[in-house]
Chains A and B, each alone.
Chain A
Amino acid sequence: MGRKLLLEHINVPGIESYDVYRKNGGYRAVEKALKSMSPQNVVEEVQASGLRGRGGAGFPTGMKWSFLAKPEGVPRYLLCNADESEPGTFKDRYLMEHIPHLLVEGMIVSSYALGCNQSYIYIRGEYMWVLEIVEKAIAEAYANGWLGKNILGSGYDLDLAIAPGGGAYICGEETALIESLEGKRGNPRIKPPFPAVKGLWGCPTVVNNVESIAAVVPIVNDGGAEYAKIGIGKSTGTKLISACGNLVKPGVYEIELGMSVEEFIYSDEWCGGIANGKKLKACVPGGSSVPILPANLVTKTAEGTDRLMSYEGLSEGGFATGSMLGSGGFIVFDEDQCIVRNTWNFSRFYAHESCGQCSPCREGTGWMEKVLHRLEYGHGNMRDIDLLEEINKKIEGNTICPLGDAAAWPVAAAIRHFREEFEWHVTHPDEAQKRNFGIASNHIPLV
């Protein structure tokens, strides 16, 4: 099954409680860091581990930490991004729901490394019951002396709190998250200045994903070098993959980076293959924003080698024949699914979630949604397919934050790999109403 670093104790009854977590080796990383390591030592271990941001961008966490400005007398903040909203992604929820103390422990060690005395976890508002679980874990950590003043007699003080969002995908973008945490609308900020220089309340700030923060615990316990031994190339360690769609066993899995996609989808130890005995049609391997792959490019690369579950493996072939690891939101489509319908569905998502600040994204996502809707319902024409590509190019790279790119890429990739399916909707308008391309019925009105 491979090594488990985050979910090792996930099946221990009561692991969500402090006592059980502690008995299973919990808070050892805090003891080790505060008693025997300097903050700089912790940063060095994280750098040595090769850990890359688990939220989707894959930027090296240790390098991100090294950018944090440290002006005298100015507080700095660590914010945990628990605003998990990328369609296909539900790994952070799983971790917080089942082993909340791992996140609390990671926050303490990471805050210590960065010299923060006040840290926050920003969680999406819909996860209110998860907020309550984490808040209870924070209270238990305070009660047992892991938070507050002079932790373990080290002279280090830390306060940790959790704050909810209100239902906005955009708040997973780090500067929108900061705006939201300041009690404002979630409009992303223009960078520079980057949060590492000017973030929460104008102070230097680091924003890290839940899984990245949790991974700091095994890195400190076992050492960065040990962590880096797992994985392949620049994809070190383990990754949580949230598998969903038409699979026999959807769910959250911790994999060693570098395992084969084939094994992950088809092995009974993992997803168990495609549900209902169907065949694989396509896969979006890293959350809705990453390019879709047709069946022949899911388990093999264009060169015919095995495709691997790693940052480099999934992006092999670039956007022409590859995709991205992204957030690990692994969405699998069986042979009955309509790619046009799914692309329209994702476009509607981005049109709904665009904050409206930049015209290319605000207008462009709405246009793409409308054009895709008319294609899906048999009212489109061939020029619409080119029009979509044109809109794409006008959005991509022309917005303050990456939501524009996230909206454009899936449409571009769907047309790249499934153009004939779009054309079929144009040439078979009546059938597109009744029977989608490869789908039995399509009777659902626009909602």
Chain B
Amino acid sequence: MSTEVTNPQFSPEKMAEVQRVISLFPEGKQKSALLRILHIAEEEFGGWLSVPTMNYVAEILGIQPVEVYEVATFYTMFNIEKPGKVVLEVCRTGPCMLVGSDNIIDYIQQKLNIEVGGTSADGIFTLKTAECLGACGYGPMLQCGKHYHEHLTPEKVDALLESLRNEHTTSSN
């Protein structure tokens, strides 16, 4: 695991959100807020959970770092390696396969010249596959951040990649 994120600190606004999430649980049960805080931390600190990020979350919740590591490694949504700026997760499970998800995965692989699990040469796109995302009637589909893109066709994929690429090459990030 890389330690590229050295000194993670939530902004005051994000810290207020973290405190609100903690307050949803009774006194002494703050660990229940862990998963949601990890989602917030991932969004804030480069799309992944570095060791310093996980240690920081442990400190906020007053729990041992290992309690955070074991959770971060169990759930598939959390990235413990730094991905590209945009992660595309294509559903590959049965109902999506029936309506052509294999072809969409192939198409994106060719288009970005990467394999599943790889990151494009420009560092923008990471392609992953995911197990059932609960969009079975609207497949083929992929998830990108919080958004679902459904009823995919090669044309729709082209347009999506185009707009994401523009968004992430023009931004200073």
Contacts and interface: CB of A to CB of B under 8 A. Distances in A.
Do A and B make up one complex? yes
Contacts of A353: 131
A342 B39 contact: no
Nearest to A84: B134
Contacts of A182: 29, 31-32
Given A87-B94, A183-B31, A244 B75 contact: no
Contacts of B74: 166, 168, 185-186, 355
B75 A167 contact: yes
Interface string B37-72: 011000000000000000000000101000100110
A124 interface: yes
B19 interface: no
Interface in B99-154: 99, 102, 105-106, 116, 129-139, 143, 146-148
Contacts of B102: 444
Contact of A447 (B29, B61, B105): B105
Contact of B92 (A186, A342, A355, A447): A447
A88 B94 contact: yes
Contacts of B38: 166
A349 B77 contact: no
B138 A349 contact: no
A353 B67 CA distance: 21
Residue of A87, A161, A169 with highest tally of chain B CB at under 10 A: A87
Nearest to B109: A447
A427 to B, nearest CB: 24
Interface string B63-100: 10001001100111110000000000000111101110
Given A163-B35, A163-B36, A166-B74, A126 B99 contact: no
B111 to A, nearest CB: 16
A250 B33 contact: no
Contact of A185 (B29, B70, B134): B70
Contact of B136 (A87, A165, A201, A447): A87
Interface residues of B, number: 48
Interface residues of A, number: 56
A242 B136 CA distance: 8
Nearest to A184: B71
Contacts of A88: 94-95, 132, 136
Contacts of A148: none
B95 A87 contact: yes
Contacts of B67: 183-184
A292 B24 CA distance: 42
A180 B76 CA distance: 13
B12 interface: no
Given A245-B95, A444-B106, 6 more contacts: A125-B35, A129-B147, A161-B25, A165-B35, A250-B138, A447-B116
Interface of A: 84-90, 93, 118, 124-129, 161, 163-169, 180-186, 201, 242-246, 250-252, 284, 288, 329, 331, 333, 337, 341-342, 345-346, 349, 352-353, 355, 443-444, 447
Interface of B: 24-26, 29, 31-36, 38-39, 61, 63, 67, 70-71, 74-78, 92-95, 97-99, 102, 105-106, 116, 129-139, 143, 146-148
12 contacts: A86-B132, A118-B26, A164-B35, A164-B36, A182-B29, A182-B32, A186-B74, A244-B136, A251-B137, A331-B98, A342-B98, A444-B105
